[in-house]
Amino acid sequence: MNRLFFASASPRPTALGWALALAFLALFTAGCGAQREVRVIKLAHGLDSSHPVHKAMAHMAKRLAEKSGGTMRIDIYTSEQLGNERECVELVQLGGLGMTKVSGSVLEAFANDYKVFGLPYLWRSEEHKLAVWEGPVGRDILVSPESKFIRGLCYYESGSRSFYTKDRPIRTPDDIAGLKIRVQESPMAFALIRAFGGSATPISFGELYTALQQGVVDGAENNPPSFHLSRHYEVCKYYSLDEHTTIPDVLIVSTHLWASLTAEQQLWMQEAADESAAVQRSLWGEATATALAEVAKAGVEIIRPDKALFAARAAKLHEDAQKDPLIGPLVRRIAEVKP
């Protein structure tokens, strides 16, 4: 064995022999350590595993593992296994959870900039919306809650939110008067329902099916895939496609986790997130068409009302937003974005 490491056959190792032996040992140990060390990141959300947003996050996990050479791994927990949406955000703030998907509406409570997404009929076109999300305005909004230990990575398409009800259809804004409508915990959503004459009732998405069954609320509002996959169509037989708001889902990461990553690891994570957003948008159109077809087959009446009536009733929200010192400048920046 000495002949492998030392210049002479002497039973006493030389200084050169020790140096070679230690170098070999260091390389061997470093190699073993690299194989063992895998950064595991927990990501939790409230959606079903068949939802296109979950599929996009699964794609991100796969790409991050590939980009990092297997040294970074994302474990995904679905269907509120680790808590509802608000609880997951709070866990991200504390650093107990690495990442979660949250609606832009919920993030209003953490950063004022997100209130702008709750404005009804905000986007001039699909191209305008994407130009905002993928440009400087969208990036500024993503990082705006960093002081609350939250950083946005990308936007996921969540379609347009429309009303669904149990006992009567919504064909005009007047049909909402007196109804209790479930909304997310969003001041802008509360204001919108009040503008239509309804009563806004915040309820966890996971508890909404039972709340609809028991009459705690008369209806809710959401995009077609969520209406379908939640099986709320079993209770609500009227779906009115007024498409009042188009609020993105946001993939957020704990700043505790983000700060602990190297610049290279941050780049890998951001690239994987951006790629997943592109995948998710392609899945979303298919999921929307499928959802509408399936709920119609199940006996839901799909109503396509005059959106201009709803937009006119909500116009004051835009006027108030323009005057708001916090989001007024952002509303104007969005209006100036050209696709």
Q: What would the pLDDT profile of 98-137 be if each residue is shown by its tens digit?
A: 999 999 988 988 999 999 999 999 999 999 999 999 999 9
| Position 36 confidence tier, pLDDT thresholds 50, 70, 90 | low
- Give this prediction's pTM: 0.78
- Is residue 12 pLDDT above 60, yes or no? no
- The backbone torsions φ and ψ at residue 175, rounded to the nearest 5 degrees and listed phi first, read -70, -15
- Is residue 5 pLDDT above 50, yes or no? no
Burial 245-275 (b: 16+ CB within 10 A, else e): bbbbbbbbbbbebbeebeeebbebbeebbeb
As a whole number of angstroms, the distance between CA 171 and CA 182 comes to 18
* C-alpha 305: how far from chain center: 28
What is the mean pLDDT of the segment spanning 35-45?
89
Helix%, strand%, coil% for the chain, nearest 5: 55, 15, 30
Domains of the chain: 34-104+125-158+248-287 (3.40.190.170), 161-247+299-336 (3.40.190.170)
pLDDT of residue 220: 98
- The backbone torsions φ and ψ at residue 177, rounded to the nearest 5 degrees and listed phi first, read -55, 130
Find the helix or strand (DSSP H, E) in which 44 lies: strand 39-44
Q: What would the pLDDT profile of 285-313 be if each residue is shown by its tens digit?
A: 899 999 999 999 999 999 999 999 999 99
Q: What would the pLDDT profile of 185-243 be if each residue is shown by its tens digit?
A: 888 889 999 999 999 999 988 899 999 999 999 999 999 999 999 999 999 999 999 99
pLDDT of residue 185: 83
What's the order of all strands across the beta sheet hosting 199-202? 199-202, 180-183, 219-222, 161-165, 238-245, 301-303
Whether residue 247 contacts residue 225, with contact meaning beta carbons closer than 8 Å, is answered with no
